[in-house]
Amino acid sequence: MRGPAGAFLGVLALQELLAVVLSFRASPLFASDPWARRLVASRRRELRVGRRGLTVRASEGGGAGDIVGWALVRGAEISDGIRLGVDEEGVRGWIATRDLLPQEAIIMIPEDFSRLSASFVRQEEGLGLGPLLHEFEEEHAPVEGSPSSSSSLWSDDRALLSLYITAIRVLSRLPGVSLPRGCEEFAVYVASLPADSPDLPMFWGGDRTFLPLHVARAAAGMQEEFERAKHAVRGFLSFVASRRSGRECAMEKLASVKLDIIEEEYRRSWALVVSRSFRRGLSSTLDSVSFRSQYMLPLVDMFNHQSDTVDMQVKQQLREKVKMEVDGPATLMKVEGGRTGWFATRHVRAGAQVSWSYGDISSEELLLDYGFVPDKNLHGHSKFTLVVSSQSLVDKANEMSRGGSLSAESANVKFELVQQMLRSSHEILFSISAFSPSRSFMSVCRLVCIVTEEEMDALSSAVSPCEEDSPPTNFLIDFIGDDNEDRARKFGNELMQQYISKMPNRDSNLQDTRVAMIERLIEEATTIAELTMGRGEKMVQGTALEQKKVKKQEEQKGFHPTERKSKEKKKRQKKQ
C-alpha cells in the first residue's frame, strides 16, 4: 500500500471491501463476513415527483469530465458504452451510449484505486487538517497520550469525511483564496459532488412525525448523531481559531468564516457522506457491531440504485396484480484478474440508466440513508417494520385464555411463556415481507391464540430455538393445529391493519416529494400485509400443512410415514 497521503486501497483493504458486499442472488461471489455490512454506494440526486413516480432531477454538481479523467489516470477502465450524463427522465448517473450486452465489462478499478477515507483525513497535510486534529485530540484526550475516544471527532469516520468535504468546498468559494498545494488528490472528486444533498428524513424536522413509527424513530436517532458530530466540529473550529501560529494555514482561514455558513455546508456534506459512503465492520462482539469505518469511492458512487426484481415464482402467484420491479440492476460486481469490476447483468438499451443494487435494502432503509423510495410498489427486498406493543400482546393472550377452555394452571403457564418470548421488552419489532412469512411474528400470534388444553399439549412438540443472531423472540412456535392457525392469522392481520391505519395521513403543508415518499411507504406496507395474510389463509388449507397434520395424526396412532406409504402402495396395487 502507498502512504497515507494518497489514501490508496491496497490488496487487504480490497478483500475487506469485497467481503462486505451482499452476495447477489444470481451469482454468489463472496463469503459474507460475520459482522460485515453491505457495501453501499449512492447516487447524486434531487428528488421530485415525476410522471412515473419518484425520480431525480439532474444535480448541478460539476466536474463530470474532470472526475472521469482523474479516475483514468489512477488506473480505472471505463467502457466506451457509458458516460456520465442525464437520461430521458432527468436522472443523472451512468448512461448507456449504445446497447450493452450481458456480461460486458462496464467499469474496472485496480487494487490501489484511490479512496477518500478517514485515515487520509487524520493525516492530511495540504489543509493542515491532520496536524490540527492531532493537537485537538491530544488536548482533549480522556487519557494522557491517547488521542482516541469512542465519542470524539477523531474516531468518527463520518464526521471527519464531512469535515474534509466542507473545508474543501468552503475554502474554494472564499474570494482571493486558493487551495494550497497538497490538496490535489481529492479536490477534483469533491468538486464533482452535487451541490445539493439528498433530502434525508433525519433533516425533516417536524415532518418526521408523518413517517411510519419505526422510520421516524430511526431518522431521529440519525439526527442526534449528526448533532453530536456538529458539536464536536464546532469545538474543533473554536480550537483552531484560538491558535496563534506564525503562518496561517488553510484551516485557520476556514475557522474565520461565519459559523452558520460552515454548519450549513457541513449539513449538506454530512448528507452526501451518509448517502454515498461505503461501509465495513470495524469491530464485532457478542453484544454489538460497529460500522464506523467508512470511505468514499470515486467513480463507483456514481452508480444509481435499482432494486432487485421480484422472484419469478412470486410474480406468478401475484399474477401481476401489483406494480413490481421487473428489470433489476443493470450491473453486478465481481473480481476478475485481480481487479474489481462491474459487469452488465442483462441487455441495456442505449440511453438507459446503467444501475447497480446497493444490496438487500428495504424501502424504509433506502429512504433513511439515500432519501428516496423505489417507484415500484414491490421489489425483491420489499418489507416493512411492524412495531407492536408487548402489553397489547399480553392483554390479547389473557383475553383469549379467558374466552377458551384453558385451566387456570395452563393459563398461567401460557402467560409466563408470552413474557419469556417477548424478552420483557416494551415493544417488539417484526420485519414483515411479502415473499416469506415471518416465523417470529406467527410464533407470537400462535402462542397468544392458544385457547384449549389440546393446543397446550401440542405446544411442547411445536417449540424450537431461534436460528437468527438477534431474533425478535426468544423461541419459535410452529404449526399447532388448524383452529389455532386460523385464529393466529386473523390476529396477525388485525395487528398489521391496526399499525397501518395509525400511519399518519398526508399533510398539505408537506413538500410534494415527502408526501410521495410517505404515501409510497404506506402503499407498500398495505400491499405486503394483504399478500402476507392472503397467502397465509391459503396455507391453512394448503398441501404442506395438511400433510403435516396427517403425519402428526398418524404418528399419534403409532404409524411411521414409511408404513403409510407402503400401505397406500398395496391399496393401489389391489385396485389395479
For residue range 368-377, list pLDDT tens digits in order: 999 999 888 7
- Judged by DSSP in three states, 339 sits in strand
How much is the pLDDT for 398? 92
- Of 230, 175, 181, 180, nearest to 202 by C-alpha is 230
pLDDT-above-70 percentage for the chain: 73
- Between 4 and 62, the more confident residue is 62
How much is the pLDDT for 543? 38
DSSP 179: P
Average pLDDT over every residue of 471-483 = 86
> Which domains, from first to last, does the chain contain?
20-61+75-112+297-361 (2.170.270.10), 116-296 (no CATH), 383-541 (3.90.1420)
- Band (328; pLDDT cuts 50, 70, 90): confident
Whether the pLDDT of residue 263 is over 90: the answer is: yes
How much is the pLDDT for 179? 84
Q: Among 11-15, 187-191, 262-266, 446-450, which stretch is predicted with the lowest mean pLDDT?
A: 11-15
Average pLDDT over every residue of 208-227 = 93
- Band (574; pLDDT cuts 50, 70, 90): low
pLDDT in tens, 480-516: 999 999 999 999 999 998 888 888 765 656 677 888 8
How much is the pLDDT for 350? 94
* Strand positions, DSSP E, 259-357: 278-280, 283-284, 289-290, 293-296, 304-305, 331-336, 339-344, 355-356
- Of 469, 471, 416, nearest to 442 by C-alpha is 471
Packing angle of the helix pair 408-421, 390-403 (nearest 10 deg):
160
Q: Among 7-11, 326-330, 513-517, which stretch is predicted with the lowest mean pLDDT?
A: 7-11
- Between 48 and 559, the more confident residue is 559
DSSP H helices in 319-405 = 363-370, 390-403
DSSP codes of every residue in 136-167: HHHHH-SBTTB---TTSSTT-HHHHHHHHHHH
Whether the pLDDT of residue 191 is over 70: the answer is: yes
pLDDT in tens, 65-97: 688 999 999 999 999 999 988 887 777 899 999
How much is the pLDDT for 245? 63
- Of 140, 168, 166, nearest to 153 by C-alpha is 140
Whether the pLDDT of residue 214 is over 70: the answer is: yes
**Alpha-carbon gap, residue 358 to 329, rounded angstroms:** 9
Q: Among 243-247, 347-351, 403-407, which stretch is predicted with the lowest mean pLDDT?
A: 243-247
109 beta partners: 340
Instruction: Please provide the average confidence, as pLDDT, over all residues in the chain.
Output: 77
How much is the pLDDT for 19? 36
Average pLDDT over every residue of 552-562 = 49
- Band (571; pLDDT cuts 50, 70, 90): low
If one counts every other C-beta atom within 10 angstroms of the C-beta of residue 130, the result is: 18
How much is the pLDDT for 475? 86
- Between 245 and 345, the more confident residue is 345
| The most confident of 19-23, 94-98, 316-320, by mean pLDDT | 94-98
How much is the pLDDT for 570? 56
